[in-house]
Amino acid sequence: DTGVSQDPRHKITKRGQNVTFRCDPISEHNRLYWYRQTLGQGPEFLTYFQNEAQLEKSRLLSDRFSAERPKGSFSTLEIQRTEQGDSAMYLCASSDQRTLSNYGYTFGSGTRLTVV
């Protein structure tokens, strides 16, 4: 297992288009998180999955955002009708209950979204 993988690394899209990102967590981790990071800011929480259940969704997320984690494995984050304000780095992370308190999250390298 090589860590958390995210695809694509970069995405440029026109305003109004839909985009989908994929995250493959560490296979032993049952917890998966999505964060968003803009330039000069720290990561902000978007949503959390435990296995296949989405247990929390931030109030930061509008109805244009949706995330899934079918079968508790990989996850997808979809943004519909993108806006310029959606431009950011989208980070995926994973953990399990034991490692969270000891090692925090393991992050992927992120997907850089640019909306033009």
Partner 1 sequence: EDQVTQSPEALRLQEGESSSLNCSYTVSGLRGLFWYRQDPGKGPEFLFTLYSAGEEKEKERLKATLTKKESFLHITAPKPEDSATYLCAVQATGGGSNYKLTFGKGTLLTVNP
Which residues here bind partner 1, judged by CB under 8 A? 4, 31, 33, 40-45, 48, 50, 56, 91, 93, 95, 100-110, 112
> CB-wise, 21 or 33, nearer to partner 1?
33
**Closest alpha carbon to 49 in 63, 29, 69:** 69
Q: Which CB atom, from 20 or from 106, has the smaller least distance to partner 1?
A: 106
SS3 for 109?
coil
CB of 110 to partner 1, least distance (A): 5
Cis peptide before 8 (omega within 30 of 0): yes
Retrieve residue 81's tokens. Answer: 């009708």
Instruction: State the nearest-atom distance from the C-beta of 84 to partner 1, in Å.
Output: 21
CB of 100: closest distance to partner 1 in angstroms? 6
Residue number with CB closer to partner 1 (29 or 80): 29
DSSP 1-45: ----EEE-SEEEE-TT--EEEEEE--TT--EEEEEEE-TTS--EE
Least distance (Å) between residue 26 CB and partner 1: 13
**H or E element in which residue 84 lies:** none
Residue with Cβ nearer partner 1 (16 or 104): 104
